[in-house]
Amino acid sequence: MQDDEDIYSSQSPEFLEVYPERKGNILQEDQKTILSKIYNRERIVKNCQKEVLYCFENVPYLKLLWNSIENQGCKLDLNRHFSCEICQPGKDVQHAGTYDESTNQVVVCANNATKTRHCCGSLLRNMFSMFDKCARNQESNHLEQLACTEIRIANLGNCNYMNYAMMGMSGETNPLKFKNKHKTCVRLKAVESLEKAKFVPKEKAVEVVNRVFDKCYADLEPIGRRTINAKDMKRAYNERYLCEN
Protein backbone atom coordinates (compact mmCIF):
# COMPACT_ATOMS: atom_id res chain seq x y z
CA MET A 1 0.00 0.00 0.00
CA GLN A 2 1.05 3.60 -0.33
CA ASP A 3 3.24 5.29 2.24
CA ASP A 4 1.11 6.57 5.10
CA GLU A 5 3.68 8.85 6.67
CA ASP A 6 2.23 12.08 7.99
CA ILE A 7 -1.35 10.71 7.84
CA TYR A 8 -1.32 10.91 11.63
CA SER A 9 1.42 12.16 13.88
CA SER A 10 1.67 13.75 17.30
CA GLN A 11 3.78 16.40 15.56
CA SER A 12 1.21 17.20 12.87
CA PRO A 13 -0.45 20.63 12.76
CA GLU A 14 -3.91 19.07 13.23
CA PHE A 15 -2.80 17.23 16.34
CA LEU A 16 -1.13 20.26 17.90
CA GLU A 17 -4.15 22.44 17.12
CA VAL A 18 -6.43 20.18 19.17
CA TYR A 19 -3.86 19.41 21.90
CA PRO A 20 -1.74 22.59 22.16
CA GLU A 21 -0.35 21.81 25.62
CA ARG A 22 1.57 18.89 24.12
CA LYS A 23 4.06 21.59 23.09
CA GLY A 24 3.60 23.80 26.12
CA ASN A 25 1.30 26.28 24.38
CA ILE A 26 -1.85 27.92 25.73
CA LEU A 27 -5.03 27.71 23.70
CA GLN A 28 -5.39 31.22 22.29
CA GLU A 29 -9.17 31.40 22.19
CA ASP A 30 -9.35 30.47 25.86
CA GLN A 31 -6.92 33.08 27.15
CA LYS A 32 -9.75 35.50 27.92
CA THR A 33 -11.91 32.84 29.53
CA ILE A 34 -10.93 29.93 31.77
CA LEU A 35 -7.22 30.14 31.04
CA SER A 36 -6.99 33.82 31.90
CA LYS A 37 -7.13 32.87 35.57
CA ILE A 38 -4.55 30.34 36.69
CA TYR A 39 -6.76 29.25 39.59
CA ASN A 40 -9.55 28.20 37.24
CA ARG A 41 -7.18 26.26 35.02
CA GLU A 42 -5.66 24.45 37.97
CA ARG A 43 -9.11 23.64 39.33
CA ILE A 44 -10.25 22.16 36.01
CA VAL A 45 -7.12 20.04 35.71
CA LYS A 46 -7.33 18.91 39.34
CA ASN A 47 -10.95 17.84 38.89
CA CYS A 48 -9.90 15.86 35.83
CA GLN A 49 -7.15 14.13 37.79
CA LYS A 50 -9.70 13.10 40.42
CA GLU A 51 -11.95 11.69 37.70
CA VAL A 52 -9.05 9.72 36.19
CA LEU A 53 -8.30 8.19 39.57
CA TYR A 54 -11.97 7.34 40.09
CA CYS A 55 -12.15 5.67 36.68
CA PHE A 56 -9.18 3.42 37.37
CA GLU A 57 -10.52 2.49 40.79
CA ASN A 58 -14.05 1.69 39.63
CA VAL A 59 -14.13 0.61 35.97
CA PRO A 60 -13.21 -3.08 35.45
CA TYR A 61 -12.37 -2.51 31.77
CA LEU A 62 -9.74 0.06 32.67
CA LYS A 63 -8.27 -2.19 35.33
CA LEU A 64 -8.09 -4.96 32.72
CA LEU A 65 -6.37 -2.70 30.19
CA TRP A 66 -3.88 -1.52 32.82
CA ASN A 67 -3.06 -5.13 33.74
CA SER A 68 -2.82 -6.15 30.08
CA ILE A 69 -0.32 -3.41 29.31
CA GLU A 70 1.81 -4.20 32.35
CA ASN A 71 1.71 -7.93 31.52
CA GLN A 72 3.36 -7.04 28.22
CA GLY A 73 6.29 -5.58 30.15
CA CYS A 74 5.28 -1.90 29.99
CA LYS A 75 4.99 -0.62 33.55
CA LEU A 76 2.56 2.22 34.08
CA ASP A 77 2.66 5.18 36.43
CA LEU A 78 -0.45 7.29 36.89
CA ASN A 79 1.47 10.57 37.02
CA ARG A 80 3.87 9.73 34.20
CA HIS A 81 1.62 8.09 31.63
CA PHE A 82 -1.67 9.99 32.06
CA SER A 83 -2.04 13.74 31.65
CA CYS A 84 -5.03 16.06 32.13
CA GLU A 85 -4.69 19.07 29.83
CA ILE A 86 -6.67 21.92 28.32
CA CYS A 87 -7.60 21.12 24.72
CA GLN A 88 -9.43 22.80 21.90
CA PRO A 89 -13.09 23.02 23.02
CA GLY A 90 -15.49 20.61 21.35
CA LYS A 91 -17.71 17.56 21.74
CA ASP A 92 -16.38 15.22 19.05
CA VAL A 93 -14.25 12.18 19.79
CA GLN A 94 -10.95 14.05 19.31
CA HIS A 95 -11.90 16.63 21.93
CA ALA A 96 -12.09 14.08 24.75
CA GLY A 97 -8.44 13.07 24.61
CA THR A 98 -5.76 11.20 22.70
CA TYR A 99 -2.76 8.91 22.91
CA ASP A 100 0.55 10.66 22.26
CA GLU A 101 2.92 7.99 21.00
CA SER A 102 5.93 10.31 21.13
CA THR A 103 5.67 10.61 24.93
CA ASN A 104 3.75 7.38 25.60
CA GLN A 105 1.02 9.34 27.38
CA VAL A 106 -2.75 9.19 27.37
CA VAL A 107 -4.11 12.74 27.35
CA VAL A 108 -7.52 13.52 28.84
CA CYS A 109 -9.00 16.88 27.84
CA ALA A 110 -9.85 18.35 31.23
CA ASN A 111 -12.08 21.09 29.85
CA ASN A 112 -14.11 18.76 27.60
CA ALA A 113 -14.26 15.33 29.28
CA THR A 114 -15.75 16.82 32.43
CA LYS A 115 -18.26 14.06 33.19
CA THR A 116 -17.11 10.75 34.65
CA ARG A 117 -18.37 8.72 31.70
CA HIS A 118 -16.56 10.98 29.23
CA CYS A 119 -13.31 10.78 31.18
CA CYS A 120 -13.51 7.00 31.57
CA GLY A 121 -14.43 6.61 27.91
CA SER A 122 -11.46 8.69 26.81
CA LEU A 123 -9.13 6.59 28.94
CA LEU A 124 -10.64 3.39 27.56
CA ARG A 125 -10.25 4.20 23.89
CA ASN A 126 -6.76 5.62 24.17
CA MET A 127 -5.41 2.81 26.32
CA PHE A 128 -6.10 0.47 23.40
CA SER A 129 -3.57 2.51 21.44
CA MET A 130 -1.16 2.34 24.37
CA PHE A 131 -1.59 -1.44 24.50
CA ASP A 132 -0.95 -1.79 20.76
CA LYS A 133 2.20 0.30 21.00
CA CYS A 134 3.49 -1.84 23.85
CA ALA A 135 2.37 -5.31 22.77
CA ARG A 136 2.56 -4.94 19.00
CA ASN A 137 5.06 -2.14 18.52
CA GLN A 138 2.45 -0.37 16.43
CA GLU A 139 3.47 2.71 14.46
CA SER A 140 1.17 5.72 14.39
CA ASN A 141 1.84 6.36 10.69
CA HIS A 142 0.74 2.87 9.60
CA LEU A 143 -2.84 3.39 8.47
CA GLU A 144 -3.94 -0.26 8.50
CA GLN A 145 -2.71 -0.64 12.08
CA LEU A 146 -4.51 2.55 13.13
CA ALA A 147 -7.71 1.30 11.49
CA CYS A 148 -7.40 -2.05 13.24
CA THR A 149 -7.05 -0.35 16.61
CA GLU A 150 -10.13 1.80 15.96
CA ILE A 151 -12.13 -1.27 14.89
CA ARG A 152 -11.20 -3.07 18.12
CA ILE A 153 -12.02 0.00 20.23
CA ALA A 154 -15.49 0.15 18.67
CA ASN A 155 -15.93 -3.61 18.77
CA LEU A 156 -14.96 -4.08 22.40
CA GLY A 157 -15.87 -0.71 23.88
CA ASN A 158 -17.92 1.86 21.97
CA CYS A 159 -20.43 -0.56 20.47
CA ASN A 160 -21.64 -2.50 23.45
CA TYR A 161 -25.39 -3.07 23.26
CA MET A 162 -26.59 0.01 25.12
CA ASN A 163 -24.27 2.31 23.20
CA TYR A 164 -25.14 1.18 19.70
CA ALA A 165 -28.82 0.86 20.54
CA MET A 166 -28.79 4.62 21.22
CA MET A 167 -26.88 5.57 18.06
CA GLY A 168 -28.56 7.32 15.14
CA MET A 169 -32.17 6.61 15.96
CA SER A 170 -33.18 8.31 12.71
CA GLY A 171 -31.75 8.57 9.25
CA GLU A 172 -29.76 6.24 7.04
CA THR A 173 -26.97 5.69 9.55
CA ASN A 174 -29.25 4.01 12.10
CA PRO A 175 -27.44 0.71 12.80
CA LEU A 176 -30.66 -0.88 14.05
CA LYS A 177 -31.94 -0.95 10.45
CA PHE A 178 -29.22 -3.40 9.42
CA LYS A 179 -29.08 -7.15 9.97
CA ASN A 180 -25.50 -7.05 11.23
CA LYS A 181 -26.26 -4.33 13.77
CA HIS A 182 -23.10 -4.63 15.81
CA LYS A 183 -20.79 -4.78 12.80
CA THR A 184 -22.51 -1.73 11.35
CA CYS A 185 -21.90 0.19 14.56
CA VAL A 186 -18.24 -0.85 14.60
CA ARG A 187 -17.69 0.28 11.01
CA LEU A 188 -19.34 3.64 11.61
CA LYS A 189 -17.43 4.36 14.81
CA ALA A 190 -14.08 3.20 13.38
CA VAL A 191 -14.44 5.44 10.32
CA GLU A 192 -15.56 8.38 12.46
CA SER A 193 -12.60 8.01 14.81
CA LEU A 194 -10.08 7.68 11.98
CA GLU A 195 -11.47 10.79 10.34
CA LYS A 196 -11.88 13.00 13.41
CA ALA A 197 -9.28 11.73 15.89
CA LYS A 198 -6.54 10.59 13.49
CA PHE A 199 -7.19 13.24 10.82
CA VAL A 200 -7.56 10.74 7.96
CA PRO A 201 -9.63 11.88 4.95
CA LYS A 202 -13.05 10.22 5.09
CA GLU A 203 -12.81 8.35 1.78
CA LYS A 204 -9.46 6.89 2.81
CA ALA A 205 -10.82 6.03 6.26
CA VAL A 206 -13.76 4.13 4.75
CA GLU A 207 -11.48 2.29 2.33
CA VAL A 208 -8.96 1.11 4.91
CA VAL A 209 -11.60 0.12 7.49
CA ASN A 210 -13.32 -2.05 4.87
CA ARG A 211 -9.98 -3.54 3.84
CA VAL A 212 -9.02 -4.82 7.30
CA PHE A 213 -12.44 -5.14 8.90
CA ASP A 214 -12.97 -8.90 9.05
CA LYS A 215 -9.51 -9.64 10.44
CA CYS A 216 -9.64 -6.89 13.04
CA TYR A 217 -13.25 -7.51 14.07
CA ALA A 218 -12.21 -11.06 15.01
CA ASP A 219 -9.32 -9.75 17.14
CA LEU A 220 -10.60 -9.50 20.73
CA GLU A 221 -7.32 -8.55 22.43
CA PRO A 222 -6.77 -7.45 25.10
CA ILE A 223 -10.33 -7.80 26.47
CA GLY A 224 -11.12 -11.32 25.28
CA ARG A 225 -14.87 -10.87 24.76
CA ARG A 226 -17.52 -8.52 23.46
CA THR A 227 -19.53 -7.15 26.35
CA ILE A 228 -23.11 -5.92 26.52
CA ASN A 229 -23.36 -4.46 30.01
CA ALA A 230 -21.50 -3.65 33.22
CA LYS A 231 -21.80 -7.22 34.53
CA ASP A 232 -20.20 -8.54 31.36
CA MET A 233 -17.36 -6.04 31.71
CA LYS A 234 -16.75 -7.22 35.26
CA ARG A 235 -16.82 -10.82 34.05
CA ALA A 236 -14.15 -10.02 31.47
CA TYR A 237 -11.97 -8.51 34.20
CA ASN A 238 -12.42 -11.56 36.44
CA GLU A 239 -11.43 -13.85 33.57
CA ARG A 240 -8.19 -11.99 32.87
CA TYR A 241 -6.00 -14.65 34.49
CA LEU A 242 -7.30 -17.25 32.03
CA CYS A 243 -5.62 -15.34 29.20
CA GLU A 244 -2.24 -14.82 30.86
CA ASN A 245 0.81 -16.83 29.91
For the chain, the domains span: 13-243
Distances (CA, A) of 85 to 24, 73, 82: 10, 27, 10
User: What percent of the chain shows pLDDT beyond 90?
Assistant: 53
What is the value of pTM for the model shown? 0.81
185 contacts 175 by C-beta, under 8 angstroms: yes
- In 3D space, the residue among 7, 33, 9 whose CA is nearest the CA of residue 19 turns out to be 9
HSE-CB of 138 using CA atoms within 13 angstroms: 25
At 168 the pLDDT is 42
Q: How far apart are CA 129 and CA 131, in angstroms?
A: 5
Q: What is the pLDDT of residues 83-110, one digit of tens each?
A: 999 999 999 999 999 999 999 999 999 9
At 243 the pLDDT is 46
Q: Residues 156-173: what's their mean pLDDT? A: 52
**28 pLDDT above the threshold of 70:** no
- Helix axis angle for 60-71 and 38-58, nearest 10°, is 80
Q: What is the pLDDT of residues 104-161, one digit of tens each?
A: 999 999 999 999 989 999 999 999 999 999 988 776 668 999 999 999 999 988 786 4
- In 3D space, the residue among 97, 98, 104, 69 whose CA is nearest the CA of residue 222 turns out to be 69
